[in-house]
Amino acid sequence: MRHIDWLGLPGSGKSTLRRATLRWADEVTPTLSTNAVVTRYLRHFSSDPVWKKMGRVIPSSLVSRFAQPAFVRSTDHFTGIRDFMQRYPDAIEVVLASSRRRADFEPRVDKILGWWLHLAAVYSAADELPDDPVVLFDEGFTNRAISLYGYRFGEVDEPDLHRYMRAVPRPAAVVYMATPVETCIERMDDWSVRFEDFPVEERISFMQSAQRCLDRVLEHLHEMSVPVFVVENDGVMSETERDLRGQLTPMLRDLGTTA
């Protein structure tokens, strides 16, 4: 399955730029968001007894509105995680081992694991779609490395990060939102549930640590020969969109010809 990951700190503009990219990328090659993947899967390919009956009856717009929570509650979610574990056992092992090692100080390990396992289920669903679309992941496996290791990132995390980057599904490309840490902090009005009770100093410390982890992720991507499109986000999103479109269009065109 061909996919492109977005990489950046919280508040860097990943989600905004990915949504903008989805508006034009499908003109180049069939492209889906993760929500569109889940919607199509529930409507046409679900093995869940409920959705096998309802998927083709309920309008697509209504399914899309409730796709993610419906998918989480379906048997497809469980089978997707199971199938991913069978295909990528090293990825599951390093995520669980890292979570156990960091459990004493990592805030909300349960949330991190939940996000990661949900991503595994969505990836499995996307992999079963018959026309092999390019999927754009806002919070894909590359960016989940920041969730896993970004808080108090240090040398002790290096071996696990190295193993993790080589165990998860490799993206066709990564879009890196190069937004200064200070700008991201200013934009973070709504903080993640992991840090909502933390003082401001601790939140700033997390962002600085996450940037160090992100820098190492970029180094790993370079070592793995994964194309990285660097987008400088200076706050003018129209210019940022135009910059990325110029960089990404040839890659999408190439992916379309190799489908």
Contact 255, 135 (CB under 8 A): no
For residue 54 the two structure tokens come to: 């309802």
- CA 24-12-202 angle, to 5 degrees, is 160
Tens digits of residue pLDDT in 201-253 = 888 888 999 999 999 999 999 999 999 999 987 766 778 888 899 999 999 99
- Does the pLDDT at position 192 exceed 90? no
H or E element that contains 17: helix 14-25
CA dihedral for 184, 68, 121, 55, sign (positive or negative) = negative
Contact 194, 107 (CB under 8 A): yes
- Does the pLDDT at position 193 exceed 70? no
Which pLDDT score is estimated for 81? 97
Contact 125, 38 (CB under 8 A): yes
- Does the pLDDT at position 189 exceed 70? no
Full set of structural domains in the chain with CATH: 3-257 (3.40.50.300)
CA dihedral for 137, 95, 167, 206, sign (positive or negative) = positive
- Does the pLDDT at position 259 exceed 60? no
Confidence of residue 256 (pLDDT cuts 50, 70, 90): confident
CA pair distance 66, 110, nearest whole angstrom: 23
Q: What percent of the chain has pLDDT over 90?
A: 57
Count of C-beta atoms within a 10 Å radius of residue 113: 15
What is the average pLDDT value for the chain, to the nearest integer? 89
Which pLDDT score is estimated for 183? 84
- Does the pLDDT at position 127 exceed 70? yes
Tens digits of residue pLDDT in 43-83 = 888 888 887 777 667 776 776 778 888 899 999 999 999 99
Which pLDDT score is estimated for 50? 81
Count of C-beta atoms within a 10 Å radius of residue 257: 7
